């Protein structure tokens, strides 16, 4: 560029010098005329190249870019290089996009790109099959115009996408879809749609199997339990030597019946994806019942206190909540040695309401905490069995809380006691 400027300067300088010589040979007027003619020719040259640039800009093409002269040669050369760089990066970009499009089309999952107004920007082939979207027709349409199911609209608006949403397909009741929204960039979202019908079928088979087995075992166990009770009532007729065996058989039968009852409760709760008997609950009677049950179980061995914010009530299922909360209180009684303290709290914490049971019991080592809600997971199976545990209590609690969109929080330290809390979301709270 510097070079070009010097060239222009020297050209002008030489022209002035020539005009001076003309002025010296002829006269001043002739010199000015020659100077003006030169400048006009210079301007005409520039106008010519501007016109060529204008014509080229109307239909820009890398093949037809003019060569130019002087400073215009430099301008056109730069323009040519810039155009080449641009077209190279554009073709790279479009080939990357094309590869990305092929890759997402090869995915077994449906992918839909949504903008910040939840309008469809792009979708792949599987999304057409799973969600029934139409290419060219549905692009630009808000997704909730096309997927109108209330659960999906609620999921989209709730803006909590930590968990996927399972839905029966509106195209065929045999198909179960799992939809998950993943926010990306500033306000865009990816909607991933998976066909989980096969998984769902296996899960239903597993649940049905457990429910059927439990159901089938219940009757013979009741009969055996009944006979054992009758026999152990026949005092004097049984030899004292075999009496302990009868007691043991009775204890084991009772344990098996408890496991079966818990398995049936668990499968009933699991089979109901949503709450069936939801109502506005007065919490004080429920909390009082919990405390009375806990005191009856403790038989005066623990100090049990209730601190309740009486004006805060809840929308939910009375039976399910009583079952979940009494699981926590009975665990506190069973895992706290005599003379221990158990505090039951029902308090607002920010926008949430929290039910918590704090005990001064045996506590739990930190590495067990993430697994406590698994079926049959026990820290100490001997103690659990001795105190009438089945290992299913916290698993039942987890499923009930899922129905109420609530969360279980556990704080515990071995030897220091535990605090089990249920955190209910604001939408469940009914304040007086």
Interface with ligand ADP (CB under 6 A) = 327, 331-332, 335, 359, 361-364, 372, 377-380, 384, 389-395, 418
237 DSSP 8-state letter: T
Residue closer to ligand ADP, measured from CB, 137 or 367: 367
Six-digit token string for 252? 């084991």
Smallest distance, Å, CB 161 to ligand ADP? 29
Q: Are 116 and 132 in contact (CB under 8 A)?
A: no
Residue closer to ligand ADP, measured from CB, 141 or 252: 252
Smallest distance, Å, CB 408 to ligand ADP? 11
CB-CB neighbours of 59 under 10 Å: 7
Residue closer to ligand ADP, measured from CB, 124 or 418: 418
Residue closer to ligand ADP, measured from CB, 197 or 373: 373
> Crossing angle, helix 197-233 and helix 243-271, to 10 degrees?
150
CB within 8 A of 37, min separation 6: which ones? Answer: none
For residue 97, what is the enclosing H or E element? helix 71-106
Smallest distance, Å, CB 411 to ligand ADP? 11
Residue closer to ligand ADP, measured from CB, 282 or 323: 323
Smallest distance, Å, CB 288 to ligand ADP? 21
Q: Are 111 and 176 in contact (CB under 8 A)?
A: no
CA atoms within 13 A on the CB side of 148: 4
Q: Tokens 């939809």 correspond to what residue?
A: 179
Coil, strand, or helix at residue 210?
helix
Residue closer to ligand ADP, measured from CB, 131 or 397: 397
Residue closer to ligand ADP, measured from CB, 277 or 374: 374
For residue 195, what is the enclosing H or E element? strand 188-195
63 DSSP 8-state letter: G
Q: How many residues does the chain have?
A: 432
What value does the CA radius of gyration of the chain take, rounded to a whole number of Å?
A: 41
Six-digit token string for 170? 């509106």
Residue closer to ligand ADP, measured from CB, 165 or 369: 369
Q: State the Cα torsion 346-348-352-354 to the nearest 10°.
A: -20
Smallest distance, Å, CB 375 to ligand ADP? 8
Residue closer to ligand ADP, measured from CB, 106 or 366: 366
Smallest distance, Å, CB 357 to ligand ADP? 7
CA distance 118 to 191: 10
CA distance 426 to 351: 6
Smallest distance, Å, CB 358 to ligand ADP? 9
CB within 8 A of 135, min separation 6: which ones? Answer: 128
Smallest distance, Å, CB 305 to ligand ADP? 16
Residue closer to ligand ADP, measured from CB, 112 or 364: 364
Among 68, 74, 61, 62, residue whose Cα is nearest residue 4: 74
Beta-strand pair 429-431/417-424: unpaired
Smallest distance, Å, CB 393 to ligand ADP? 3
CA angle 86, 90, 92 (to 5 degrees): 120
Smallest distance, Å, CB 405 to ligand ADP? 21
Is the Cα torsion angle 181, 183, 184, 187 positive or negative in sign? positive
């Amino acid at each position: 560029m510097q070079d070009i400027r010097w060239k222009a300067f020297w050209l002008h300088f030489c022209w002035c010098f020539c005009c001076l010589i003309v002025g010296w040979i002829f006269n001043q007027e002739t010199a000015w005329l020659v100077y003006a003619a030169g400048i006009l020719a210079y301007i005409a040259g520039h106008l010519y190249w501007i016109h060529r640039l204008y014509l080229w800009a109307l239909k820009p093409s890398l093949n037809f870019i003019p060569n130019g002269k002087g400073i215009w040669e430099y301008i056109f050369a730069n323009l040519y290089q810039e155009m080449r760089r641009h077209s190279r990066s554009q073709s790279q970009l479009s080939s990357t996009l094309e590869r990305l499009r092929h890759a997402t089309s090869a995915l077994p999952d449906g992918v839909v790109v949504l903008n910040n107004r939840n309008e469809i920007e792009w979708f792949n082939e599987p999304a057409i099959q799973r969600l029934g979207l139409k290419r060219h027709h549905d692009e630009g349409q808000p997704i909730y115009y096309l997927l109108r199911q209330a659960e999906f609209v609620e999921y989209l608006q709730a803006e909590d996408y930590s968990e996927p949403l399972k839905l029966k397909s509106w195209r065929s009741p045999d198909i179960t879809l799992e939809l998950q929204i993943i926010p990306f960039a500033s306000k865009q979202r990816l909607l991933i749609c998976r066909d989980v019908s096969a998984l769902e079928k296996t899960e239903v088979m597993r649940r049905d199997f457990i429910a059927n087995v439990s159901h089938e075992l219940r009757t013979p166990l009741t009969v055996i339990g009944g006979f054992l009770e009758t026999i152990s009532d026949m005092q004097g007729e049984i030899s004292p030597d075999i009496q302990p065996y009868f007691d043991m058989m009775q204890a084991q039968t009772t344990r098996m019946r408890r496991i079966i009852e818990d398995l049936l409760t668990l499968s009933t709760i699991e089979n109901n994806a949503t709450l069936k008997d939801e109502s506005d609950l007065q919490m004080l009677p429920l909390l009082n019942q919990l405390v009375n049950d806990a005191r009856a179980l403790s038989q005066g061995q623990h100090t049990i206190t209730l601190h309740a914010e009486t004006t805060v009530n809840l929308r939910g299922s009375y039976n399910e909540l009583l079952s979940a909360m009494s699981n926590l209180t009975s665990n506190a009684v069973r895992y706290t040695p005599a003379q221990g303290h158990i505090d039951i709290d029902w308090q607002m914490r920010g926008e949430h309401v929290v039910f918590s049971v704090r005990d001064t019991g045996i506590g739990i080592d930190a590495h067990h905490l993430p697994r406590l809600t698994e079926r049959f997971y026990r820290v100490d199976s001997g103690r659990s069995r001795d105190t009438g545990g089945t290992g299913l209590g916290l698993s039942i609690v987890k499923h009930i809380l899922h129905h109420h969109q609530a969360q279980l929080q556990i704080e515990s330290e071995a030897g220091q006691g535990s605090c089990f809390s249920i955190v209910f979301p604001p939408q469940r709270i009914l304040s007086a």
